[in-house]
Amino acid sequence: MDLADIRQTIDGIDTTLLNSFIERMDIATEVAKSKIEMGKAVFDPARERSKLNNLAGRAPERYEAQTIALFRLLMSMSKAEQQRYINELKGITISQKAHATAAACDTPFPQTATVACQGVEGAYSQIAACKLFDVPDIAFFETFEGVMRAVHDGFCEFGVLPIENSTAGSVNAVYDLLAQFDFHIVRSLRLKIDHNLLVKPGTKLADVREVYSHGQAIAQCAGFIESHDLHATKYPNTAMSAEMVASSGRTDVAAIASRSCATLYGLEVLESNIQDSDNNYTRFVVISREPRVYPGANRTSLMI
């Protein structure tokens, strides 16, 4: 079979899997109804262990681990759907809903998911997302609000946003949006930020007159910018500024961005680690429409 035929076969299998998945999730409501009538809890650990052992025994040995991982994830999603149905019937409070979610969510933080990030490839949000998720399916948006709306509309399961920096302080725009959207923070990451001055190949520091970057990055590199008498212009995102410099016809501009942006956009690292403080960290948060408490959770965030 050539690649086109193989892909067509895979597409057919994926369609079958999708239809079976939808059928399985739809029946979760009927399972919840039966459990309510019988007075049973959503989570039945003995039944789940027995089911997983049976499935693992029926799978080829080379796929045993993957079979367990797949069906454990399916069971977790089914339990979450059952709990959602029960919660809607009860009309429970936010506090009760949080407790119910913690009880229903017994699987680790997902390794892969659809994730919304602000900027383009090479942005610090993308770097954070790849540390938070093993294999995220990332969709990029120009603004923080675009990330929020992607999660709100169900286009993405999660969003990754910067919330505060050890040097420049809070990212106020994100705080304002958290107040506007009824979302939940389900995980966070403290990421070391090392800013670099990126230029077109052959550009010397003496040639640079204007530097582009996100306002937070500019604030974090204020000392370097001032000492070299550079004009700083705010741009929506660090990686977007690198992309803009690469496509610009000018040779007197530079971008402050991550080192990975140099490779991505054909730029050179003219100066590395130009942030004012070596202890420069940004905390990124993962937002979700639904409260989810994963094993090992040890932080509570309150909006007051």
Domains and CATH numbers, the chain: 3-104 (1.20.59.10), 114-193+281-288 (3.40.190.10), 196-272 (3.40.190.10)
- The alpha carbon torsion through 174, 175, 179, 185 (nearest 10 deg) reads 80
Q: Are 162 and 258 in contact (CB under 8 A)?
A: no
Residue spans of beta strands (DSSP E) within 103-236:
114-118, 137-141, 158-165, 169-170, 184-192, 196-199, 210-213, 231-234
Q: How confident is the model at residue 96 (pLDDT cuts 50, 70, 90)?
A: low
Q: Cα 166–172–177 angle (5° rounding)? A: 130
Instruction: Give helix 144-152 / helix 172-180 axis angle, nearest 10°.
Output: 30
Supply the angle between the helices 45-58 and 64-90 in degrees, to the nearest 10: 150
pLDDT reported for residue 84: 80
- Tell me 49's DSSP state: H
* Per-residue pLDDT band at 98 (split at 50, 70, 90): low
From 155, 181, 214, select the one nearest 287 (Cα to Cα).
Answer: 181
Q: Looking at residue 218, what is its pLDDT?
A: 94
Convert the pLDDT of each residue in 176-234 to its tens digit. Answer: 898 888 888 999 999 998 999 999 999 999 999 999 999 989 999 999 999 999 999 99
Computed over every residue of the chain, the mean pLDDT equals 88
Is it the case that residue 262 has pLDDT exceeding 90? Answer: yes
| pLDDT for position 287 | 95
Residues 87 and 29 sit within 8 Å (Cβ to Cβ): no
Give CA–CA dist 212/165, Å, rounded. 19
Is residue 105 a contact partner of residue 81, using CB atoms and an 8 Å limit?
A: no
Quote the CA–CA distance of 134 and 245 in Å, as a whole number. Answer: 30
Using DSSP's 3-state secondary structure scheme, residue 217 falls into helix
Which of 194, 274, 188 has the alpha carbon at shortest distance from 227?
Answer: 274
pTM over 0.85: no
Residue 140 has pLDDT above 60, yes or no: yes
